[in-house]
Every structure is written in C-alpha cells, then in structure tokens.
C-alpha cells in the first residue's frame, strides 16, 4: 500500500461563467520515504491538489466530481471531522508559499509553536507541561537549524527574515511528526541564496528523518535539488511522471520538453530559451481530447478526439501522450 | 474598422447585468434586501395613489373609528384620530426616503473629497483633515439636533441638518483608509512616471477604486439615517404632527400600549424592514462591485 | 558620448523605528548609454528597487545627481521634468498590481497618450491598437479588464503602456519574476525584439542571473546599497571578482539537477 494514493480524482469550481474542472482525473501515488515534486505553471491545479489532500478547498464553490484520495489507506474524501482533524494535526504537515501570512503577527514564535504543540497533544489526549513544550519547541527549531532557538522564542515574526520565517513554518509542520510533508512553493518568496539554504534544509530533513515529501513548485530547478521523482501537471491533468534524472534527460511529453526548453541556463548563455506558444486553456471549456493539443507541435488527429491515458512509456516513467507512446 | 475600437462594445454591459443577476440569485439575503428596498422605493413613488384615503395623512379626523384593530376595512387598524394606519405608514415612506437621501448625500459630498485628499496626500494635509474629522465625530448627533431645533424651531429639516453635520466624518475615515494604500500601488506609480498630475491620479485612479466601499456604506447608511430620523421623530424633533412619520407615530402610540398594539407595531415593522433591506443590500453590493469577483 | 541616464554619488536612506537609518542607496555611480542594456542584480533589500524609484523620480534623493541626456533632473519639477517623463518609462515587477483593476486595456495604454500628447479620438484609438499589435496582443483585448488577462498578457499591456510615450529607455523592475517560465521566455523575446527595433536602452533589474545574461550587455551587482561590481555581462557572470557576486552565482539553481552545495544553515541573510 502506498502512503498516498490519488485515483481518478476530479474537482470542479462553480462560478458565474460556468463550472471549471480544475483537476480532471489525477492519478498519483507517493510511497513511504519518497520525495516527489509536482511541477506545473499557474492554473495547472497543483496547489488545489495539495489543498485537496487536507480538504482545504472551500466547498462550495469547489465540488468533488469523483475519484478517491487515500492516505495510509484511509479515504480522505469521506473522513469524519474528527478523523480529518487528526489527519491535519499529525498525518500531513503543510508548508505554504508565503511565510508572512501564515504567522500571526501579534504572537511570539514561542507562543505560536506552543499553540501548535498543544493542539497536537490535545489530539492524543495528553496534557503536556510547560517545560516539556518549551523543550520540544527548542528541539524543533534546532532541527530546522535556526541559530539560538532559546532567544528566538520571545521574538515576533516581523523581526525575522523571510528565510527564518519559512524555517519556523517548517518546524511547525514537523511538530505533529507528520508522515507526509507537503510543501507548496516553499521558496518562491525567498531570495536565491536563501532559497538554496532552505532547499538544502529540506533535503537534509528528508535524509535524516525519513520524511516523505510532496513538493509543489513551478520551478524545475527546485525539483531537481530535492526530489527523486517529478510529476508534471498541465491544465488539471498529470501529463508525465518520471524519476528526476530521466525527466531532465529524456522527457517524453511535448509540454515537459517545452518547459525544459524555456528555462534560461546561466552556464549555457548561447542556449536560446523558447517559450511555449499560446496560453493555458480556459478550464470552463477545455479543448477536447488532450488538453495540450492546441499548443502542441506534434498534435495528431487523435489528440483532438480522445484524451491520452497516463501509460508506462518506459520502466517507472509514465506519459499521457499519443506521440510519445507507441 | 479601426475607428470602431474607440468605443467599448455593448455586449459587456449586458454580461455585467447577467453577472449581477447571478450574484443576487445565489445569495438569498441580497435578494431579500433588494426586494425590501424595491418595495420601499415603490411605495414612496406611488404611495398616494394606492392608499385607501390619502387625506388621512394630512390631518383628517374620523372620530367614529378611533383605535380600531386591524380588519378588512383597515388592514393595519386606525389611530387615535381614526386615521387609517396603513395610509399613514405608507405615506411616511417619502419622508424617510427624503431624509435618508439628504443625510447620506450631504455626507458623501462633504466626506469623499476630504477623505481622498487625506489618504492620497498624507502628511500635513492628512493631519489637519483627520483631526477636524475626529472633532466632529465627538459631537453626539441627537444632542446637536436638540440644540439646533431649540435654536431654529422644530421641523424635520433642522433635524436633517443636525444629522448631516455629524454624519460625514464616517465617510472621511472610510475613504481615507481606502485611499491610503492606493497611493502606494504600482499603477499609481506608473501614472506618476507618465507625468500624470495629482488631480488626474485622484480622478482616474483613486476615486474609481474608492467607489465600491462608498456605495456599500451609502446603502447601509440609508438604513441608519432613516433609523436616526425616526429617533428624532420619536423624541419629537421630526415632522410636525399631522404629517406622517414612523418615529413620531410610535411615539404617540406609546400612550396606547399595550391595548392598541397595532398602532406601534406597523410603523415599527416598516422601520425594521427598511433598515434591514438597506443593510442586506449593502452586503450584497460588496460582492457585486468587486471587479475581481466577476471571475467566479 | 553623453549617457542617456546617469547617477553620481546618489544617496537615499530610510528611517527605521528606534531612530536608526538604513542606507538603501549609498553612493551609486551608474551610467546607461543610449541603446545599452544594463542589468542590475542583487537580492531583496540591496537597494536596486529604491535606485529605480530614484531614477523615476518617484522618490527624492538625499544627495547626488541624476542626469537625463546630460541635464540634471535630480530636483526638476513641472516642465523641466517632462523630458524625463517622456524619455524614461517603467515596467514593474507585478503586472497584477501595475494595472488599475478598474481600467480597461484601452484606458491603460491610452493613459500616457492622454497625458502627454493631444490626439484626436481616432488617432488615439489607432495608436493604442498599434501599440497592442507591437507587443503581440490582438485587438480583441482592447476592452478587457486586467482580471480577465493572464499574467503574461498583463505584462504585455504594461509594456505597451510604457512604449506609448515613445521612450528612449525602459526601466524594467523584475518584469518576469511573477510569470511562468514558458511565458517568461516570450516576454524576454519580446523585450529583445523591441530593443532592437526601437533602439531602446534597458535598465533591467532582476535577481535571475540567467535572464540577465541573456538580455544584457553589461551587469552591475548591488549589495547593501552599493554597486560592488560592474562590467561586461559575460565577464562578470563567468569570472566574478567580488565575493558577493560569487555567492550570488553559487546560489543559482541550474535547470538540471545538481546536489546542493554549501551549508544548510542561514548564512549572511540579515534578520530584520
């Protein structure tokens, strides 16, 4: 059994101009101990998918059209509220993009960490002592390699740099000893030098704590730095799923290839990045067949009619494209 | 073909209308608010032609039918003069509408320019405007109304003037709070780099982006102003006796409680429903007026 | 040759609570030649955005001078400022915030023309349509509103608006950092083509060194309000001399996987 199994999951948002099928048949498995990156551009549904794991999408306007999400064998979509609480507290830890908005400006770091720890303890029926909470807070802050965690406890979020705030949020996500850490664009708001430090920290945590990681990002470079496997999403569908090295060296899907060709490379200044012509489809009336076909140079008649299934193109490498699979 | 570009296509406004209908349709409280306000406006417009006898609102007396309970002949009962309460309550909507519009109108006209100036220019301009505003906020409206009425004699106009004097500071504060962050927006910076004057920025960027909170507050304030005017009527500072006014009616009806319950119930109900209607409508307008919410 | 835009010993500082002052721009000498593309790189808080605001005269400099085409415009107002307003335009980082949510594409692009040029209604419409065409947007976008556009389309509108007064220089503040990579490449291509066609000079502020290398002839590296290194783009990015430039280059994630180097602990990033 995989730790996380998503099967044919479909989610729609209802709006004035109609219903947008934001996730259309997502199939994804994450094994215990794996680090998986989900890559895609604005509007591909990657963040909505991440929020679906904890049922954080407001319903309405969101509506599940079908499929299943199982975490450690339990169906997340039909979970009772107490079970969902337990999942949010301990099963899945989440780190979001913007570290500023997820910390409350009027409480100190110590108070906010203690609050999280108390909530976790309450979930298991224990009533921890103050000293124990403090000790655990310090331990967690040390784990994310924040210097002088004792003095940090009394500080307010605005006195920390962006990188330090993101570390605090990672520490909070780790407080419940989650089996799966979901990080949604954890370094997008950070400077490059800080980004590389935070990514190194995440890579280090995975190695030391045997965490399972699901990293959501738009940046292929970020995935390359910490993930073993990459899932590429386009317009609400998974288009390719491959080990990192394979994806970078032998991407099969035209969209993935386009994405790789669009990134400028500092070490190859003569490589001329090329954008992908056209723009993402309107999800209220997506193109029939493959959702990428209007922008695809390899589009064949069949691409306009039938949606390609995600099939194994090579060992451990799945692609949803007629042109890429014989 | 190119010259056609100088004008916006017409389909947009139709689409906008459909959007409004969609938002309202999904939101029962807004629908209720819109309905109540529509009924209120309709009654104000055609009241004199649909009431049983419009003369009941100008001091007619029917001593034979004093304080009758609701019946087929008098749906809302009659008052101590024998006048039909339905007639008086319906005809009082005009007074309320007039009072509400005047108070909010004066407040907007005075408050908006001051608020925009304070928020956009900041610094000393803001200090002066905001301190003056704070001073006016400290004046209790009803007490001022008492003073003015004492000086100028009773009459609804004097009450309205008093309320308008204390009403505008709310708009200064609202608009100032909205304009303050706007002046740092990149699109305002962009306008400056084009060489736009302050006045132009105020009119083309700051003011239009302040309109939606303004309309929302104005809608809610219509209700509040009508309530305040009714309070004036209740303490005897509003409309002069034979003229119908909800607050004044309830005030008179106090002496006939609890036997003639209908006398105070119906004017009270009209106040309640009108204020409720404007408030619900204001809440709904907030959703409709946000250009981003059209994305759905 | 007189530089198009030049600064000399430019200073600007901000007050911080508790009386401290932060020197955001601390003695910057920079020159942008006509038609040149100069990259300005550094991390957030290094002063590059403040420098841009000073050059655009959105903020007042404390000391030093700004010259536009040889004329001192550091404190110019009114008519004296008009050449700068015509000759230098800006494209901001976040296209979502750089467009007034209540103004249509037409209104946004027409705004600089309405301010700076007296055109007939018809000439205005023609010019706006021509500008949209230049940035690769079809005429059907004229009456759309910002919330109906994608990030890349919004940025194209911003570029069209910046081109409207017929500027000689564009100051670009991270114009692609809020965009997807597939769109980023399109915008970079557009900017390169425009530069070639119109002979524009660029001051390109970015933290993305790869993009800077692609688009710029020269690079200036800023740290803590000072320009620590400047020179030809190839030279600076291939053989950095200053320690800070080297740190910056080391942190760049290559598009292909590579194990991370260096420590995982927070380094020199300053706490606020």
**Is the pLDDT score of A234 beyond 70?**
yes
For A1-9, what is the mean pLDDT? 88
pLDDT tens profile A168-212: 888 888 888 888 999 888 888 777 778 888 888 888 888 888 889
**Closest partner CB to C255 (pick from A164, A197, A221):** A221
> Could you say which DSSP state residue A57 is in?
S
> Does residue C99 or residue B20 have the better pLDDT?
C99
Look up residue B284 and give its two tokens: 């709904």
Do residues B85 and B74 make contact, with C-beta atoms less than 8 angstroms apart?
yes
| Angle between helix B246-253 and B85-121 (nearest 10) | 130
Give the gap in angstroms from C-alpha A60 to the nearest C-alpha of chain B. Answer: 12
Give the gap in angstroms from C-alpha C133 to the nearest C-alpha of chain B. Answer: 13
Query: Which numeric CATH code is attached to A4-227?
Result: 3.40.50.300
Per-residue pLDDT band at B139 (split at 50, 70, 90): confident
Alpha-carbon distance A155 to A108, whole Å?
5
What is the Cβ-side half-sphere exposure of residue A175, based on CA atoms within 13 angstroms?
Answer: 30
Alpha-carbon distance B58 to C168, whole Å?
75
CB contact under 8 A, A17 and B296: yes
Among candidate residues A163, B250, A200, the one with its CA nearest the CA of residue C260: A200
Look up residue A68 and give its two tokens: 């299943």
Q: DSSP letters along chain C, please?
A: ---SEEEEEEEEEEE-GGG-EEEEEEEEEEEE-TT-EEEEE--TTSSHHHHHHHHTTSS--SEEEEEETTEE-TT--GGGGHHHHHHEEEE-S-HHHHS-TTS-HHHHHHHHHHHH----HHHHHHHHHHHHHHTT--GGGTT--GGGS-HHHHHHHHHHHHHTT--SEEEEESTTTTS-HHHHHHHHHHHHHHHHHHT-EEEEEES-HHHHHHH-SEEEEEETTEEEEEEEHHHHHHS--SHHHHHHHHTPPPSS--PPPS-SS--SPPP-
Q: What are phi and psi of A92, to 5 degrees?
A: -125, 125
Among candidate residues B116, A322, B193, B208, the one with its CA nearest the CA of residue C56: B193
**Closest partner CB to A191 (pick from C43, C188, C255):** C43
Tell me whether residue A60 is exposed, middle or buried, using C-beta atoms within 10 angstroms of its C-beta: 0 to 12, 13 to 18, 19 or more: exposed
**Which of the residues C102, C104, C139, C144 would you substitute to probe the B interface, choosing the one with the greatest number of B C-beta atoms within 10 Å?**
C102
Per-residue pLDDT band at B294 (split at 50, 70, 90): very low
Lowest model confidence (mean pLDDT) among B14-18, C124-128, C226-230: B14-18
Q: Which residue of C has its CA nearest to A230?
A: C257
| Residues of A engaging B, defined by a Cβ cutoff of 8 Å | 14-17, 61
Instruction: Reply yes or no: is the peptide bond before residue C145 cis, omega within 30 of 0.
Output: no
Edge-to-edge strand order for the sheet containing C21-32?
Answer: C21-32, C5-15, C63-68, C71-72
Q: Kindly give the residue spans of alpha helices, DSSP state H, lying in chain B.
A: 11-26, 28-50, 85-121, 123-137, 141-152, 156-167, 169-182, 186-193, 198-201, 207-234, 246-253, 261-289
Q: Which residue of B has its CA nearest to C139?
A: B5
pLDDT of residue C257: 55
pLDDT tens profile C149-190: 888 899 999 999 999 999 999 999 988 888 888 888 889 989
Mean pLDDT value across chain C? 86
B142 touches chain A (CB under 8 A): no
Bridge partners (DSSP) of residue A62 are A13
For tokens 């490589």, the residue is A271
CB contact under 8 A, A267 and C254: yes
Alpha-carbon distance B233 to B238, whole Å?
4
B138 touches chain C (CB under 8 A): no
Between the alpha carbon of residue A322 and those of residues A140, A206, A267, B149, the distances in Å are: 48, 36, 34, 85
Give the gap in angstroms from C-alpha A313 to the nearest C-alpha of chain B. Answer: 38
For C1-19, what is the mean pLDDT? 84
Per-residue pLDDT band at C255 (split at 50, 70, 90): low
For C199-207, what is the mean pLDDT? 91
**Is the pLDDT score of C75 beyond 80?**
yes
pLDDT of residue C263: 42
List of chain B residues whose C-beta atoms are within 8 Å of the C-beta of residue A17: 295-296
Between the alpha carbon of residue B55 and those of residues B30, B43, B253, the distances in Å are: 36, 16, 20
Mean pLDDT value across chain A? 86
Among candidate residues C177, C260, C246, the one with its CA nearest the CA of residue A224: C260
Give the gap in angstroms from C-alpha A97 to the nearest C-alpha of chain B. Answer: 22
Alpha-carbon distance B122 to B125, whole Å?
6
List of chain C residues whose C-beta atoms are within 8 Å of the C-beta of residue A274: 185
pLDDT tens profile A53-96: 888 888 878 888 888 999 888 888 888 888 888 888 878 888 88
A vs B, Cβ pairs < 8 A, gives 12
Alpha-carbon distance C253 to A314, whole Å?
28
**A145-149, B229-233, C120-124: range with highest mean pLDDT:** C120-124
List of chain C residues whose C-beta atoms are within 8 Å of the C-beta of residue A245: 257
Tell me whether residue B261 is exposed, middle or buried, using C-beta atoms within 10 angstroms of its C-beta: 0 to 12, 13 to 18, 19 or more: middle
Look up residue B53 and give its two tokens: 């006898």
- In residues, how long is chain A? 326
CB contact under 8 A, B194 and C98: no
Per-residue pLDDT band at B6 (split at 50, 70, 90): low
Among candidate residues A71, A66, A91, the one with its CA nearest the CA of residue A29: A71
Do residues C141 and C168 make contact, with C-beta atoms less than 8 angstroms apart?
no
List of chain A residues whose C-beta atoms are within 8 Å of the C-beta of residue B15: none
pLDDT tens profile A249-276: 888 899 998 888 888 877 777 777 888 8
**Is the pLDDT score of B151 beyond 50?**
yes
CATH numbers and ranges of domains, chain B: 28-47+90-295 (1.10.3720.10)
Alpha-carbon distance B131 to C90, whole Å?
37
Q: Write down the domain spans for chain A.
A: 4-227
Give the gap in angstroms from C-alpha C13 to the nearest C-alpha of chain A. Answer: 20
Among candidate residues A82, B220, A8, A192, the one with its CA nearest the CA of residue C174: A192
In three-state secondary structure terms, B22 is helix
Bridge partners (DSSP) of residue A184 are A216
Give the gap in angstroms from C-alpha C260 to the nearest C-alpha of chain A. Answer: 6
Which residues make Cβ contacts (< 8 Å) with residue B156, sequence separation at least 6? B95, B99, B229, B232, B233, B238, B239, B240, B245
List of chain B residues whose C-beta atoms are within 8 Å of the C-beta of residue C165: 194
For C69-97, what is the mean pLDDT? 89
For tokens 């999280």, the residue is A116
Do residues B115 and B171 make contact, with C-beta atoms less than 8 angstroms apart?
yes
CB contact under 8 A, C92 and B196: no
Mean pLDDT value across chain B? 84
Which residues make Cβ contacts (< 8 Å) with residue C64, sequence separation at least 6? C7, C8, C9, C10, C11, C27, C28, C74
> Could you say which DSSP state residue B84 is in?
B
**Is the pLDDT score of A117 beyond 90?**
no
Cβ atoms within 10 A of the Cβ of A122, count? 13
pLDDT of residue C272: 41
A vs C, Cβ pairs < 8 A, gives 157
For A44-54, what is the mean pLDDT? 89
List of chain A residues whose C-beta atoms are within 8 Å of the C-beta of residue B294: 16
**Neighbouring chains of B at 3+ CB pairs within 8 Å?**
A, C
Alpha-carbon distance A237 to A112, whole Å?
37
Q: What percent of chain C has pLDDT over 70?
A: 92
Give the gap in angstroms from C-alpha C36 to the nearest C-alpha of chain A. Answer: 18
Which residues make Cβ contacts (< 8 Å) with residue B4, sequence separation at least 6? none
**Which of the residues B189, B193, B295 would you substitute to probe the C interface, choosing the one with the greatest number of C C-beta atoms within 10 Å?**
B193
Per-residue pLDDT band at C15 (split at 50, 70, 90): confident
Alpha-carbon distance C92 to C94, whole Å?
6
CB contact under 8 A, A15 and B23: no
Which residues make Cβ contacts (< 8 Å) with residue B233, sequence separation at least 6? B156, B239, B245, B246, B247, B248, B249, B250, B251
Alpha-carbon distance B247 to A222, whole Å?
68
List of chain B residues whose C-beta atoms are within 8 Å of the C-beta of residue A15: 295-296
Q: Which residue of B has its CA nearest to C123?
A: B3
Q: Which residue of A has its CA nearest to C177?
A: A188
pLDDT tens profile C20-67: 788 888 889 999 999 999 999 988 878 888 899 999 999 888 899 999
What is the phi-psi region of residue A278: left when phi exceeds 0, alpha when psi lies from -120 to 50, beta otherwise? left
**Is the pLDDT score of B66 beyond 80?**
no
Alpha-carbon distance C90 to C97, whole Å?
14
pLDDT tens profile B50-65: 877 777 777 777 777 7
Between the alpha carbon of residue C39 and those of residues A249, B128, C9, C28, C172, the distances in Å are: 31, 44, 19, 15, 9
For A30-48, what is the mean pLDDT? 89
pLDDT of residue B291: 56
CB contact under 8 A, B190 and C98: yes
Give the gap in angstroms from C-alpha C235 to the nearest C-alpha of chain B. Answer: 33
**Closest partner CB to B194 (pick from C111, C129, C143):** C111
CB contact under 8 A, C213 and A161: no
**Closest partner CB to C251 (pick from A167, A192, A259):** A192
List of chain B residues whose C-beta atoms are within 8 Å of the C-beta of residue A14: 296
**Neighbouring chains of C at 3+ CB pairs within 8 Å?**
A, B
For C101-105, what is the mean pLDDT? 89
Cβ atoms within 10 A of the Cβ of A51, count? 19
Do residues A198 and A186 make contact, with C-beta atoms less than 8 angstroms apart?
yes
Alpha-carbon distance A259 to A292, whole Å?
13
For A230-237, what is the mean pLDDT? 92
pLDDT of residue B3: 43
**Which of the residues C147, C174, C182, C244 would you substitute to probe the A interface, choosing the one with the greatest number of A C-beta atoms within 10 Å?**
C182
CB contact under 8 A, B8 and C115: no
Residue A155 CA, distance from chain mean position: 29
In three-state secondary structure terms, B288 is helix
pLDDT of residue C271: 42
pLDDT of residue C121: 87
Among candidate residues A170, A115, A120, A163, the one with its CA nearest the CA of residue A141: A170
**Closest partner CB to B186 (pick from C92, C102, C143):** C92
List of chain C residues whose C-beta atoms are within 8 Å of the C-beta of residue B209: 100-102
CB contact under 8 A, A15 and B19: no
Q: Which residue of C has its CA nearest to B204?
A: C103
**Is the pLDDT score of B169 beyond 60?**
yes
pLDDT of residue A285: 86
List of chain A residues whose C-beta atoms are within 8 Å of the C-beta of residue C262: 196-197, 200
Alpha-carbon distance A38 to C224, whole Å?
36
B205 touches chain C (CB under 8 A): yes
């Amino acid at each position: 059994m995989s730790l996380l199994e998503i099967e044919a999951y479909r989610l729609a948002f209802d709006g004035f101009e109609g219903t947008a099928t934001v996730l259309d048949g997502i199939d994804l498995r994450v094994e215990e101990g794996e680090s998986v990156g989900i890559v895609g551009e604005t509007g591909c549904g990657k963040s909505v998918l991440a929020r679906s794991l904890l049922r954080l999408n407001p319903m309405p306007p969101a509506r599940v059209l079908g499929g299943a999400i199982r975490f450690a064998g339990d169906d997340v979509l039909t979970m009772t509220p107490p079970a969902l609480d337990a999942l949010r507290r301990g099963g899945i830890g989440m780190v979001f993009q913007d570290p500023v908005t997820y910390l409350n400006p009027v409480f100190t770091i110590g108070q906010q960490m203690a609050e999280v720890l108390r909530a976790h303890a309450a979930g298991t029926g224990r009533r921890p002592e103050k000293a124990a909470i403090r000790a655990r807070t310090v331990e967690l802050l040390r784990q994310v390699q924040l210097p002088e965690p004792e003095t940090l406890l009394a500080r307010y979020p605005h006195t920390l740099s962006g990188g330090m705030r993101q570390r605090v949020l990672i520490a909070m996500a780790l407080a419940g000893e989650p089996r799966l850490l979901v990080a949604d664009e954890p370094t997008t708001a950070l400077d490059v030098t800080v980004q590389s430090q935070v990514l190194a920290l995440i890579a280090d945590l995975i190695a030391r704590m045997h965490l399972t990681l699901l990293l959501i990002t738009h940046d292929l470079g970020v995935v390359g730095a910490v993930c073993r496997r990459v899932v590429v999403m386009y317009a609400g569908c998974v288009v390719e799923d491959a080990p990192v090295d394979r994806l970078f060296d032998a991407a099969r899907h035209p969209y993935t290839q386009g994405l790789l060709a669009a990134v400028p490379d500092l070490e190859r200044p003569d490589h001329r990045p090329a954008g992908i012509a056209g723009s993402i489809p309107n999800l209220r009336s997506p193109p029939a067949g493959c959702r990428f076909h209007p922008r695809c140079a390899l589009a064949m008649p069949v691409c306009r009619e039938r949606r390609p299934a995600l099939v194994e193109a090579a060992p451990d490498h799945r692609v949803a494209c007629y042109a890429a699979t014989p | 073909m190119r010259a056609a570009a100088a004008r916006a296509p017409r389909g947009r406004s139709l689409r906008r209308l459909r959007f409004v209908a969609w938002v309202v349709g999904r939101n029962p409280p807004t629908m209720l608010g819109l309905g109540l306000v529509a009924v209120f406006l309709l009654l104000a417009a055609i009241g004199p032609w649909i009431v049983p006898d419009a003369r009941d609102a100008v001091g007619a007396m029917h001593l034979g039918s004093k304080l009758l309970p609701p019946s087929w002949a008098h749906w809302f009962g009659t008052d101590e003069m024998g006048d039909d309460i339905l007639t008086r309550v319906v005809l009082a909507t005009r007074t309320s509408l007039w009072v509400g519009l005047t108070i909010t109108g004066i407040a907007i006209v005075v408050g908006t320019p001051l608020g925009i100036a304070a928020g956009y220019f900041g610094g000393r301009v803001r200090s002066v405007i905001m301190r003056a505003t704070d001073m006016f906020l400290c004046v209790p409206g009803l007490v001022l109304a008492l003073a003015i009425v004492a000086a100028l004699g009773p009459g609804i106009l004097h009450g309205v003037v008093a309320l308008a004097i204390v009403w505008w500071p709310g708009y200064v504060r609202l608009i100032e709070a909205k304009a303050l962050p706007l002046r740092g927006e990149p699109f305002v910076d962009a306008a400056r780099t084009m060489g736009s004057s302050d006045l132009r920025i105020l009119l083309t960027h700051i003011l239009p982006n302040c309109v939606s909170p303004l309309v929302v507050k104005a809608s809610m304030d219509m209700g509040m102003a009508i309530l305040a005017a009714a309070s004036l009527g209740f303490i005897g500072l509003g409309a002069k006796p034979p003229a119908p006014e909800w607050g004044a009616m309830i005030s008179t009806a106090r002496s006939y409680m609890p036997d003639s319950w209908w006398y105070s119930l119906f004017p009270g109900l009209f106040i309640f429903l009108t204020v409720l209607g404007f408030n619900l409508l204001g809440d709904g307008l907030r959703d409709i007026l946000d250009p981003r919410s059209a994305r759905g | 040759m007189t530089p198009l835009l030049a600064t000399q010993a430019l200073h600007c500082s901000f007050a911080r609570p508790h009386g401290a002052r932060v020197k955001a721009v601390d003695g910057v000498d920079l020159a942008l030649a006509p038609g040149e593309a100069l990259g300005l790189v550094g991390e957030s808080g290094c002063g590059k955005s403040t420098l841009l605001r000073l050059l655009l005269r959105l903020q007042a400099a404390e000391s030093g001078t700004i010259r536009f085409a040889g004329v001192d415009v550091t404190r110019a107002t009114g008519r004296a400022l008009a050449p700068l307003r015509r000759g230098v335009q800006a494209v901001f980082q976040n296209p979502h915030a750089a467009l007034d949510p209540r103004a249509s594409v037409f209104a946004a692009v027409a705004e600089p023309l309405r301010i700076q040029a007296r055109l007939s209604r018809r000439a205005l419409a023609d010019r706006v349509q021509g500008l949209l065409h230049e940035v690769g947007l079809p005429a059907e976008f004229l009456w759309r509103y910002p919330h109906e556009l994608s990030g890349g389309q919004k940025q194209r509108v911003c570029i069209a608006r910046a081109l409207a007064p017929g500027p000689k220089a564009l100051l670009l503040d991270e114009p692609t950092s809020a965009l997807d990579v597939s769109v980023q490449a399109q915008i970079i291509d557009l900017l390169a083509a425009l530069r070639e066609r119109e002979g524009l000079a660029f001051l390109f502020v970015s933290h993305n060194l790869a993009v800077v290398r692609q688009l710029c002839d020269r690079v200036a590296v800023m740290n803590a309000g000072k320009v620590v290194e400047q020179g030809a783009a190839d030279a600076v990015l291939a053989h950095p001399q200053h320690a800070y430039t080297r740190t910056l280059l080391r942190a760049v994630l290559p598009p292909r996987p590579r194990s991370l180097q260096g420590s995982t602990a927070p380094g020199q990033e300053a706490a606020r």
